[in-house]
Every structure is written in C-alpha cells, then in structure tokens.
Amino acid sequence: MSQSLDRAMTILITCAEGPQRLSGLAQQLDVHRSTVLRLLQTMAARNFVRRQDDGRWTIGLGLTSAALSALDRIETRAVANPWLRRLARDLGHTIHLAELFGSDIIYVDKVEGRGAVRMNSRVAAPVQIHTAAVAKAILAFSTPDVVDSVLADLTYQRFTSTTLTTQASFRKELATVRAQGWAVDDGEFEDYISCIAVPIRDRTGSVQAGISITALRAIEPLEQLKLNIPRLTEAAQEISSELGWDGKKGLTDDGKPQLL
C-alpha cells in the first residue's frame, strides 16, 4: 500500500473517533507536521475532512455522504429481494432490480420467473440503457446533469424495429415516463420480450434504482403486461418506504414527481 494512502486512511480513522489536533496526528504518524498538513489539505479539498474554528480537524460531510450513499446501495438489494421473489412467484415473470452507478445502470438483482426460458440478463451486467424500461424509469426521475452525463457517450444502436435510435427520441420517451410514472420496453432490445418498470426512491426521495417485470411477448403481450403496473408500483413504494422514504420527498405538493 502507498505510504501516503496509508497515512491518509489513518488520519480519517483517527478523526472519525473525534476532532484531532495537527500536532497529535503528526505524533501518531511519526512524521513532520507539514506532511500531515498536506494530507489534510488534500482531503479537505474533497470535503473528506474539515478544520474546526478551534483548529482541530474532524470528518467532513463529503466522507459522511459517501458512506451513507454506500450504505444505501447495500441496503437496496437486501430490502428489495423479498419483493422481487414475491412478484416472480405471483406473476410468473422475471423480475429485475437495477441501480445507477456513475454513468452506468447495472443489474444488481434478478429473480427468474416460472417459465422454462431464461432471460439473457445477468446480475452485475450493464443495462442496455436506450432500450431497457428500468433504465428509463431511473433516468426519467434523475436530475438533468445526471441524464446529460449518462447520455453523453451513449450510442443508439438499432436492435429491433421499435428501438429508439436518437437522443431526441430517447429524451422524449423519458418525458413520457416522467409524466405517467412508469416505463416500458416494447421489444426494443429483443423483439420477443417486453418489459415494464417503475422507479424506487431512497430516503432522500431521489431515484437511484428501479424494478421491472420482463415477459415473453408470446406469453404475455405488452398491453396485458401493463395490467401489472399497479402491483409493481405498490412493491416499489413498499421498498422505498423500507429504505426510509417518507412518501413526500421528491414529490410536489400535488403529488407529482419533482427533480431534487
């Protein structure tokens, strides 16, 4: 391990125990005060530590935010999995859970339906963003800067006759999803598969994840699959509630979605 990285980690662990003076940190690390100060200033620039009015150093909000975000991500799959299993059991279709990580949307959980045919999607694999209902459900409720970042390098490869092949058409689709509260994949990646999806909110009311139902069109056409939207929405709301959402954050006074 890099010596500087090891020292920085020691500083963070020590400051997490309580505010520390520069001299005490230098003594603990057995280095000159100037060395510790450089490390502190570097971490302070990322808001991982901050200097109090009394001169002591403590943990910054940047580190706290990162820790809470990581905790939220770990909790989402654990909280959602029983609901995925329940939906798969009751409906017989494959249920996916996906989350936004940087500029990617990744499948983080999947429960197969009762059918003999298995879906090609797999946990830890990226979602085909411009075709997947779950990606639309997440991005439709994301802030403009997040959407811009995700779409910046996106290519709109045509897979089927219903694939959205331009950024303009995809953004229009996101607006529709935002207005109605749910998204569809109308055979846009594989023409024999349809999908519906809804967003999941975290404790802050923001959308980082989504849940979807995927079915073979020969077994359940899209219009019939849409009849499950109320059931899927109910599950997403229960998951959001268990993640700490109070049912209000992220919504306007009249119950419409808002960007945070």
Say what the pLDDT of residue 244 is: 87
Other CB atoms within 10 Å distance of the CB of residue 211: 25
Say what the pLDDT of residue 203 is: 87
Per-residue pLDDT of 68-92, as tens digits, reads 676 666 688 889 999 999 999 999 9
Say what the pLDDT of residue 123 is: 81
pTM of the model: 0.71
Helix/strand/coil (H/E/C) assignment for every residue in the chain: CCHHHHHHHHHHHHHHCCCECHHHHHHHHCCCHHHHHHHHHHHHHCCCEEECCCCCEEECHHHHHHHHHHHHHHHHHHHHHHHHHHHHHHHCCEEEEEEEECCEEEEEEEECCCCCCCCCCCCCCECCCCCCHHHHHHHCCCCHHHHHHHHCCCCCCCCCCCCCCCHHHHHHHHHHHHHHCCEEEECCCCCCEEEEEEEEECCCCCEEEEEEEEEECCCCCHHHHHHHHHHHHHHHHHHHHHCCCCCCCCECCCCCECCC
* Torsion of Cα atoms, 63 then 65 then 70 then 75, to 10°: 140
Contact status, residue 198 vs residue 189, Cβ threshold 8 Å:
no
Tokens of 189: 């990646």
Contact status, residue 84 vs residue 104, Cβ threshold 8 Å:
no
Per-residue pLDDT of 5-42, as tens digits, reads 889 999 999 998 899 999 999 999 999 999 999 999 99
Average pLDDT for residues 109-123, to the nearest whole number? 74
